[in-house]
Amino acid sequence: MNLPSPDTLINRELGILAFHRRVLAQADDPEVPLLERLKFLCIVSSNMDEFFEVRMAGLKEQLRANSTQRSDDGLTPRQQYRAVADMAHALVDKQYELLNRDVIPALAKRDIHFFRRTHWTETQAAWIRDYFLRELMPVLTPVGLDPSHPFPLVLNKSLNFAVELSGRDAFGRNSGAAVVQAPRALPRFIRMPEEIAGCEYGFVFLSSILHAHVGELFAGMTVEGCYQFRVTRNSDLFVDDEETKNLRQALQGELPQRHFGAAVRLEVADNCSESMAAFLLEQFELERDDLYQVNGPVNLVRLMQVPDWVDRPELKYTPFTPALPARLANKEDIFAQIKKGDILLHHPFESFQPVIHFIEQAAADPNVVAIRQTVYRTGTDSKLMMALIRAAQSGKEVTVVVELMARFDEEANINWAAKLEEVGAHVIYGVVGYKTHAKLALVIRREDGELKRYAHLGTGNYHARTARMYTDFGLMTCDEAITADANSLFTQITGLGKAGKLKRLWQAPFTLHSEVLAAIQRETDLATAGKPAAIVAKMNSLLEPQVIAALYAASQAGVKIDLIVRGVCALRPGIAGLSDNIRVRSIVGRFLEHTRIFYFKNEGDELVYLSSADWMDRNFFRRIETGFPVLNPKLKKRVIAEGLKPYLRDNVQAWEMQSDGSYRCKKPGRAKPYQAQGVLLELISR
């Protein structure tokens, strides 16, 4: 199969930033509750942090290595860096413009204030000075810069202050500069007492307090300038697969280095002097394009706490209670219910509790002899992990495949792995060179003298908190073919041997890619024969060139293709003669769209697969993933009715991709507004 030409593909890095812009648009939407708009600003900051730590860091590594390798869309590393830097700067400028022009003034109108230094009353200034002397000054360590005090090692994403000084100190030194590092334990904003603030919710930024009183740290010297700054570093971990004998130990040794990787971005306050900005860039070996001057705190992520502190329900999304399937509402024997027929869970509209109950009941059930589960992200406080620990303590055979290389969750997973090993569970770290990204749990139970298998397969992680924020499907089944496949997959990961043929599951890195291509080809053949053909696929990212080429060919044959891609999509829709029959849309709303659904019309015998995998190179070839069929006709209709049709109809939170790669927000116009997530909340939850 010929791969797509570069001019028919969208750059991955620019596609990721385009998604962050769509998230930022939520903060710009007056229909979104005010405190939720603030949250979206924070989410963009968190997303951008990871973008620089991983994606931009990779680009800068290529530049340092003088790489000439072009991206799929034909750009050199330097061209990519230039385009990405321009887009990132524009995005950050827009973010702070929204914060200062819209969100903070709107909060002030609702009596939620962030007090700037220039607006403190005498009473507030006195309280702030006392707070500085009592709570901050004892834990701050100023570092004067001179030959015996070189520039300090600055941790990744930590808050720091560069101070310009004049005068001589007690030892006659006059270096003219110092650095003050704010300990991570310090809050980045402080709530004033009501009687001091003059309102119920009054906050002051830590940076404002330090700016006002940093002179206290340099007795007898004059502060000429004080500028907050923050450096972002390369946070990708490197573990040599060939040299590593114990992956957990290797990662434990590597994790601390994440704080001190090569610098990739410098954020400073917009009042930073030109000379200080140049000095800091030199210290971190960065270019001018790596400098981001911002009008406000250099780390907006910490503002995510504000909505939790402010008790104003009218400024937040309406709370909801996730539903429970009728068969599970009374906490009946979950295995008996699964035996009656497959159970489909649609999170967050339906509760994640049945998944927890599934493992907890298995841990307590004397008839259960073994539990096997994959863990990619699960959180630091997980009922599921505690249930597995109890199961192992009670003598059950517990096998947990823990993915230690789950980015930014490595430490939590290492801790769970250690706790599980301490109680005798079999802990497997997957297969070297392949991340275990499949979401799979298998329970083996003795019934009437025989062993019966039950499985849960999902599109999302075993993480109770994100299950309230991410859309995902989960399937509970005791179908013999599916559970036998699940058992084979676990055996394959934990043991050694060639990959056996699975009956129901599609599995990466072996069959998932070829099965997806084959399903696309079937629709192409049907369309070529003049028969109705259609593909609908929902995922987080679409990048893999062979799949894109197959979709282009299907479109040319007349297959109607709808793609719901939340994040980056390298395919260009609507190109005459190439992708006329392809529509691409992205849904951005209250919940993070995380579901992976693959639908093929299949000559009327509809094929519906749920999956842990996106259509990306890494998911097809460098990860262990699963795609699993929805076989029950009623549940298949539910997946289509809840997971696909509402998103194709959405005219409020949908962004339609244009042939040039840009996105246009869908507007209802004269039509009745239809918001998929809102409709599903009303339809399913309580």
Question: Catalytic amino acids?
Answer: 437
d(CA 534, CA 599): 8
**Preceding omega of 509 cis (within 30 degrees of 0):** yes
Tell me the C-alpha distance between 430 and 490, whole Å: 10
Following DSSP, what letter does each residue of 450-465 receive, concatenated? EEEEEEEEESS-S-TT
Helix pair angle (34-50, 12-27), 10° resolution? 160
Helix-strand-coil split of the chain, %, nearest 5: 40, 25, 35
Q: Do the beta carbons of residue 640 and residue 346 sit within 8 Å? A: no
Selection from 655, 474, 463, 675 nearest residue 569 by Cα:
655
Question: If you search the block for the tokens 């808050």, which residue do you land on?
Answer: 159
One-letter amino acid for residue 408 of the chain: F
Rounded CA-CA distance 514/507 in Å is 10
> Whole-angstrom Cα distance, residue 537 to residue 661?
18
Q: What is the 3-state secondary structure (H, E, C) of 12-52?
A: HHHHHHHHHHHHHHHHCCCCCCHHHHHHHHHHHHHHHHHHH
- What 3-state DSSP class applies to 571? strand
What SS3 class is residue 90?
helix
Distance of CA 658 to the CA centre of its chain: 25
Cα separation, 426 vs 404, whole angstroms: 15
- What SS3 class is residue 317? coil
- Cβ within 8 Å of residue 494, ≥6 positions away: 399, 401, 426, 428
Q: H helices of 170-320, where? A: 194-197, 206-213, 247-254, 274-283, 306-309
**Amino acid at position 88, single letter:** A
Give the closest residue to 596 by CA, choosing from 584, 608, 613: 613
- Rounded CA gap, 236 and 264, in Å? 12
DSSP 491: H
Helix or strand run (H / E) with residue 427: strand 426-428
**Beta partners for residue 508, in sequence order:** 625
Nearest to 91 by CA among 236, 265, 220, 261: 265
> How wide is the angle at C-alpha 24 spanned by C-alphas 467 and 76, nearest 5°?
100
The two counts, helices (H) then strands (E), for the chain are: 22, 27
Both tokens assigned to 601: 């019309």
- If residue 106 lies in a helix (H) or strand (E), which one and from where to where? helix 104-109
In contact, 654 and 647? CB cutoff 8 Å = yes
